[in-house]
Structure 1
Amino acid sequence: MTRKILLFNILLMVGYTSKAQEYTITSPNQKLKLIINTNKHLSYKVEFNNQTVIQPSEISLQLANGRVLGDSPKLVKKDQHKVNSEIKPLFGYNSSYTNSYNELLLHFKGEYTLAIRAYNEGVAYQFITSFKQPIIINKEQFELNVNGDYPFTALGRKDKWHGYETNYTTQNISAIDSLYACLPSVINSGNNVKIVVSEANLYHYPGMYLLKNKEKQHSLIGEFPNYPLDVQPGGYSMFNLNVVKSADYIAKTEGANKFPWRIITITDDEKSLLNNPIVYLLAEEPKADYSWVKPGKVAWDWWNANTLQGVDFQSGVNTETYKYFIDFAARNGIEYVNLDEGWSDQFDLLKLSDKINMIEIVDYAKQKNVKLILWMVWHTLDKQLSEALDQFQKWDIAGIKVDFMDRDDQPVMEFYERIASEAAKRKLLVNFHGACKPTGLERKYPNVINYEAVYGLEQNKWETLKPGHDTHLPFLRNFAGPMDYTPGATRNASISNFRPVFERPMSMGTRCHELAKFVCFYAPLQMLADSPTDYEKEPDMLDFLSKVPVVWDETVPLNGKLGEYLVIARRKGDTWYLAAMTDEKERDLTLPTSFLKDKQYSATYFEDGINADRIGTDYKKKTAILKANELQNLFVKMKPGGGFVAIFKTEN
């Protein structure tokens, strides 16, 4: 990952007024401007296409010693940089990312700096301190002041932190009532202009939430969970550590520190949110060799309750069941098998269930060239960290699925990095569940291969997860990074026929909607949620799932409207996958094929069957040979909760 930084001496549009001094930085395409005012208090505003979209909004860090970094700022010097490079990640939804931005560093009296950057993909700022002694942050001030009472779309809960596993809601800013909105969130400011707020490079610091600013109209403010002083086990099966006492500050850090990037993306091209890597671009680079990290698909046991049919043993958490899962994975080129809850005592990872023979399972997986991933409770792992990870390494386990953090205060964010680092030393993948959204840790530690932080397919075991929820996720949740939604239901119910069934769960939406998730959702470690014997009854579906990539060389957003529908094309090698999905409304779309080159392709289509609105599993599979002069737009009719997938393979 090379990074060219060209110093240049021309001021980046630095302007002056009689009452205040302003510093402006502009995106390479000239569409975005981030303007910092250094008068009495640091503030920023953002222009898009020469219109002020975010009005002056104050920012600061308030220290425990009474100092406020941002009050009466006195500029000492400034540095400017222009960067235009290419980042080639180990894996991603593109084989390379353009890393082009203008940067201005404003150094202030009092040993702190404000770094500001402008990318085509968004603008960002970051506080940097250079104190010699540790510091305590009492509060961070973040305002977002807009021009009107606009609709605001976010995940979150009322009066509670950590609402990542909820449905999206949309309401005007004035109507927000005690909602702790998780990031990324989006404001629809009219004329199809969307304002997306997120953060990156979150280390030794709590996550940010957005709340309604009760002191200003049309305004949101940042809020942060306080530093916990005492925790007690609680929640589901005592898997959580609930905060029972908190400090009156949010973080305590080293005096020399780079704080999280505050990111604002503004666009009038809604579909561009489907291919915006700004969180990844702002994250730290890896400092070691991670070539051993292998993305792939996972045969998963928990969602389907370890249920197998037509076998001559009692299926469940036992050696025979896991060997069947391993055989299934080996037959179908599936790289991993996940052993979820039940393989060990939840509070002692070295105490195995008496129903399994781990050595036999491990040896069998090695013979079949299948790798194993083990689920565990987060605070159990933290207590046994070295001895447990050492044991997993001896067993040749490939990765760990760490669950039930359900917090993002400073100590838990430090836990994320501690696990990433210790797992990397032993060449273990990490899949975080019960987690907050990604903020770039997966760039610094590519073994952090996935995060949950989503209302995923598991919810259908006990409630209703509607297709419209799915049509939010590629725009917002995947904006932050990879997402372990765990798709792959074989029992696909129409909207009128859906019901929660815990041990034989189904999805709401059509079979083609379910297939489209594997293209529309970015997940370098992608679960196949249903039972091997259910997939084996569905050869078309199994053939698709066994071959669909999980990482990509190129992504091309084609169309979409947040929460309603989307169309996206992704390429791996010479093969293109085109996918579309819709919410609860029936939708007719014309899908462009302009991303295809002038070649001959063999095409395979999966489309909703004529009765898919009544029978969710109804679909049609079609094949065709397309010559260069026959490439044209595709007309697709999607049923309510429907979808579409096309595969184009280059023909010699």
Structure 2
Amino acid sequence: MKHFLFLLLLLPFLASTQNTLRSINSPDKKVAVSIGLNKTGEPFYKISFHGKTIVDWSRLGFQAREADLQSGYTLLNATTSTFDETWKPVWGEVAQIRNHYNELRYTLGHRQLGSAVAIVFRVFNDGIGFRYDFLMKDVESRRLTFTDELTEFQMTGDHTAWWIPGDFDSNEHVYSTSKISAIDCASYNKEYAIATQHIVKMKNTQTPITMRTADGTHLAIAEAALADFGALHLETDVKSLKFKAFLISTADSTVKSINTIPFHTPWRVILLSKDAAGILQSKLIINLNEPCKIPDVSWIKPQKYVGVWWEMHVGLSTWDYEATADMMAATGREVKGKHGANTDNVLRYVDFAAKYGFDGVLVEGWNTGWKDWFGKLKDEVFDFTKPYPDFDMDRISRYAKEKGVKIIAHHETSSAVPSYERQMDAACAYMKKNGQNSVKTGYVGKIIPRGEWHDGQWMNNHYLRVAERTAQNQIMVDMHEPVRPSGWHRTWPNWLASEATRGNEFNAWSSGNPPEHECILPFTRSLGGPIDYTPGIFEVRMSTYDPKKTEIVHTTVAKQLALYVTLYSPLQMAADLPENYEKRLDVFQFIRDVPVDWDDTKILQASIGDHMTVVRKEKGSQNWYLGSITDENPHQFKATLDFLMPGKEYEATIYSDGKGAHWKDNPYPVSIRKTTVKRGDVLNLSLAAGGGCAVSFKAK
């Protein structure tokens, strides 16, 4: 009945669009978009997929202080074009990417605005992207103060949705699975509230949000090329099943964004597929980003690393030299152990990295400022060129160079962002002086300038400034606690990865990540770009380090191996302690072997939140790697090896859950066996509850 009433409301609109209605299809004609104006000059659009309406007539537009941009538009012109290219990413899941779409440029005049607005639709075979181009008309530029975005997404059914709360300050949430009509952040917060969060409306979700319709069609609402704008959240009308754009505000809570014409918004994206695998394989978001802006990319290298990091999370050492205030103290836990980033300990990690073939060693807690940093809203906290007294930078740098290992710098800002920007030139020069070509940045806590948000316009511009400034210094960057990615790794491929999710660290000191978590991330958070999830934990019970601790990693050890394949990133950490790996070198061999750059990727099976199996082909090689994971339920799957090269034999090393394995009751057993396989053979995969399987296929 509610959809019938919605159609009745639309009848005046449908009757008034005849002169302004325009349509465009995807190259394969399976995706269709229509756009038109109603009698008051409001723009509306509609999307169909395989002949079925996916997004019913939905409003487009904005509200601004300077002009009412909701209505009053007239159609100036509508032009179409086709684009088709194949380009090669610097690194990635595949060696080359096809960028093929049909474009409709729907240009509108607006008397009050005094300039034109083009709504640009790009229609791909696997979805659409659209944005608003505010065009210069007069010689003098004009500022717009946006107070609301009116873009809507009218769903055609009460789909199953995978979502996290619309939090201005964090992406570090557990995913919920519910019908659209049941989206409710209030009930979510009763179980999973986190320390740094700001949720203004209990029916709001972040993007990407991924959904499955009753007939199995999969769709995701996301955004691409986020710049100079607040991140896109969605306000849910649980009765009409409509999503409306809700932008992160500026420090002025009544303002979403301030921009100067001419400019364009980020792309609003709808991915479409007949199954879950197609959502994973889409390259639509990265294709909507600009080509690489770095002239020489020869210095950008995917890498595997270890680091002085997990030992702090499990309570064996501290970030803080004085051992008075660090993450443990800030969360109410006892501070124990010594300062982790001391010279002897770092040299031990360098030796381990060199011995087992890792590219780098991350060192957290090396610089002054950790004594009084957490939640203080202090503008001057860290010095990014001043080590603690027990950290001999010269000695460590020389030793790492001799061993062929790079030290990865760590710049925790405590979200005192202006201070970090003032120090960036000096910090980059200091890194280069000491032979460091990578940095991990961090943004824990409330943002300074006060009132700004992690996902707001000001911070989104900051992240891009960091990417550009580090690129100018030939430094690669891994950002933690930033906005979720939107495909910028095409434009700035030195931005290797982001955290922007509830990572593995939460398993060390909280209720943790449920077994389904890693089966949801590839279909949601990872759609916009690589994730630094820090897998590879072998000692999954925290009681090993402190008998009073009850926290566990909610996977089997075999699943930790499989995550290196299922959660894509060109930057992968072997996150556990060196001594835990050396106890199980046979299992550790997979982490040593698995690449971080690929020529091809195939999805063998996928069911969001339940299970998935991925195979990837090593760049410049005939070797393949398989990762298969499941949620809290056991899973069996027959993997047909039709991806292997014809006429060639492979040695398959299979790392699977051992006898009696279970993520909670018995997470440790890993069975390792070798066999010879060829194209067309079938592998029977048996995954334990919360388990996984990892396989290397090495060409003979």
Match of 1:423 in 2: 470
Distance 1:118 1:306, change over 3 A: closer
Report the AA paired with residue 46 of structure 2: K
Match of 2:300 in 1: 293
Report the AA paired with residue 390 of structure 2: K
Q: C-alpha separation between the residues in 2 aligned to 1:502 and 1:444?
A: 47
- Given the alignment of the two structures, is residue 151 of structure 1 paired with residue 160 of structure 2, yes or no? yes
Report the AA paired with residue 25 of structure 2: T
More displaced 10-residue stretch of structure 1: 555-564 or 528-537: 528-537
- Given the alignment of the two structures, is residue 577 of structure 1 paired with residue 625 of structure 2, yes or no? yes
Match of 1:436 in 2: 483
Match of 1:593 in 2: 641
The Cα shift of 1:73 comes to 2.4
SS across alignment from 1:474: helix
Report the AA paired with residue 534 of structure 1: N
The Cα shift of 1:24 comes to 1.4
The Cα shift of 1:46 comes to 0.7
Correspondences of 1:243-262 after superposition (within 5 Å)? 246-262=252-268
The Cα shift of 1:121 comes to 2.1
Q: C-alpha separation between the residues in 1 aligned to 2:85 and 2:265?
A: 24
Distance 1:58 1:256, change over 3 A: same
Q: C-alpha separation between the residues in 1 aligned to 2:564 and 2:671?
A: 18
- Given the alignment of the two structures, is residue 119 of structure 1 paired with residue 124 of structure 2, yes or no? yes
The Cα shift of 1:501 comes to 8.0
SS across alignment from 2:612: strand
Post-superposition Cα deviations, 1:512-553, rounded to whole Å, max 9, x if no partner, equal: 111000000111111111111211111123221112111211
Match of 1:281 in 2: 287
Counterpart pick for 1:128 among 118, 130, 133 = 133
Distance 1:66 1:591, change over 3 A: same
User: Percent same amino acid at aligned positions?
Assistant: 27
The Cα shift of 1:186 comes to 1.4
Distance 1:112 1:17, change over 3 A: closer
Report the AA paired with residue 365 of structure 1: A
Post-superposition Cα deviations, 1:271-306, rounded to whole Å, max 9, x if no partner, equal: 122221211110111222222111101112211239
Q: C-alpha separation between the residues in 2 aligned to 1:404 and 1:521?
A: 23
Report the AA paired with residue 169 of structure 1: S
Distance 1:395 1:480, change over 3 A: same
SS across alignment from 2:432: helix
Q: C-alpha separation between the residues in 2 aligned to 1:146 and 1:500?
A: 49
SS across alignment from 1:512: helix
Distance 1:486 1:89, change over 3 A: same
Q: C-alpha separation between the residues in 2 aligned to 1:337 and 1:501?
A: 29
Match of 1:33 in 2: 32
Match of 2:242 in 1: 219
- Given the alignment of the two structures, is residue 54 of structure 1 paired with residue 55 of structure 2, yes or no? yes
Distance 1:498 1:582, change over 3 A: farther
SS across alignment from 1:533: helix
Q: C-alpha separation between the residues in 2 aligned to 1:99 and 1:498?
A: 50
Report the AA paired with residue 529 of structure 2: G
The Cα shift of 1:374 comes to 1.6
SS across alignment from 1:279: helix
Match of 2:505 in 1: 458
Distance 1:498 1:389, change over 3 A: same
Post-superposition Cα deviations, 1:312-345, rounded to whole Å, max 9, x if no partner, equal: x978320011111111111122111111134332
Post-superposition Cα deviations, 1:538-570, rounded to whole Å, max 9, x if no partner, equal: 112322111211121100011110000001111
Distance 1:208 1:499, change over 3 A: farther
Post-superposition Cα deviations, 1:331-363, rounded to whole Å, max 9, x if no partner, equal: 122111111134332422233211111111111
Q: C-alpha separation between the residues in 1 aligned to 2:348 and 2:548?
A: 22
Distance 1:18 1:282, change over 3 A: closer
More displaced 10-residue stretch of structure 1: 377-386 or 113-122: 377-386
Aligned positions, number: 609
Distance 1:250 1:443, change over 3 A: same
Distance 1:505 1:530, change over 3 A: farther
Q: C-alpha separation between the residues in 2 aligned to 1:314 and 1:597?
A: 52
Q: C-alpha separation between the residues in 2 aligned to 1:498 and 1:162?
A: 33
Question: Structure 1-normalised TM-score?
Answer: 0.89
Match of 1:356 in 2: 391
Report the AA paired with residue 183 of structure 1: T
**Can you give the 5+ residue segments of structure 2 that lack an aligned partner in the other structure?**
1-13, 110-114, 185-201, 317-336, 371-380, 445-452
The Cα shift of 1:479 comes to 1.1
The Cα shift of 1:144 comes to 1.1
SS across alignment from 1:352: coil
Distance 1:353 1:499, change over 3 A: closer
The Cα shift of 1:190 comes to 1.1
Post-superposition Cα deviations, 1:84-142, rounded to whole Å, max 9, x if no partner, equal: 21010000011111111111112222322111011112111110112322322222112
Report the AA paired with residue 141 of structure 1: L
Q: C-alpha separation between the residues in 1 aligned to 2:339 and 2:682?
A: 47
The Cα shift of 1:506 comes to 4.8
Distance 1:502 1:528, change over 3 A: farther
SS across alignment from 2:560: helix
SS across alignment from 2:606: strand
Post-superposition Cα deviations, 1:207-247, rounded to whole Å, max 9, x if no partner, equal: 01112137x6111111112111xxxxxxxxxxxxxxxxx24
Report the AA paired with residue 270 of structure 1: A
Q: C-alpha separation between the residues in 2 aligned to 1:18 and 1:60?
A: 16
Distance 1:365 1:321, change over 3 A: same
SS across alignment from 1:482: coil
Match of 2:587 in 1: 541
Quick check: 1:330–1:368 contact (8 Å CA) kept in 2?
yes
Quick check: 2:340–2:365 contact (8 Å CA) kept in 1?
no
Counterpart pick for 2:613 among 555, 567, 570 = 567
Q: C-alpha separation between the residues in 1 aligned to 2:493 and 2:615?
A: 24
Q: C-alpha separation between the residues in 2 aligned to 1:18 and 1:315?
A: 68
Match of 2:45 in 1: 44
Q: C-alpha separation between the residues in 2 aligned to 1:641 and 1:493?
A: 15
SS across alignment from 1:21: coil
Report the AA paired with residue 525 of structure 1: L
**Can you give the 5+ residue segments of structure 1 that lack an aligned partner in the other structure?**
1-14, 229-245
Distance 1:603 1:315, change over 3 A: farther
More displaced 10-residue stretch of structure 1: 579-588 or 167-176: 167-176
Match of 1:617 in 2: 668
SS across alignment from 2:471: helix
Report the AA paired with residue 78 of structure 2: K
Match of 1:64 in 2: 65
- Given the alignment of the two structures, is residue 161 of structure 1 paired with residue 168 of structure 2, yes or no? yes
Counterpart pick for 1:604 among 626, 635, 653 = 653
SS across alignment from 1:351: coil
Q: C-alpha separation between the residues in 1 aligned to 2:404 and 2:149?
A: 50
SS across alignment from 1:280: helix
Question: Structure 2-normalised TM-score?
Answer: 0.83
Q: C-alpha separation between the residues in 1 aligned to 2:364 and 2:224?
A: 30
Quick check: 2:313–2:508 contact (8 Å CA) kept in 1?
no
Correspondences of 1:136-147 after superposition (within 5 Å)? 136-147=145-156
Q: C-alpha separation between the residues in 1 aligned to 2:499 and 2:16?
A: 48
Match of 1:7 in 2: none
Quick check: 1:304–1:504 contact (8 Å CA) kept in 2?
no
SS across alignment from 1:349: coil
Report the AA paired with residue 388 of structure 1: A
Q: C-alpha separation between the residues in 1 aligned to 2:488 and 2:470?
A: 13
Report the AA paired with residue 637 of structure 2: L
Distance 1:19 1:625, change over 3 A: closer
Report the AA paired with residue 220 of structure 1: F
Report the AA paired with residue 124 of structure 1: G
- Given the alignment of the two structures, is residue 448 of structure 1 paired with residue 448 of structure 2, yes or no? no
Match of 1:231 in 2: none
Distance 1:261 1:592, change over 3 A: same
Post-superposition Cα deviations, 1:453-476, rounded to whole Å, max 9, x if no partner, equal: 111110011122222111101122
Post-superposition Cα deviations, 1:629-648, rounded to whole Å, max 9, x if no partner, equal: xx422112111011111211
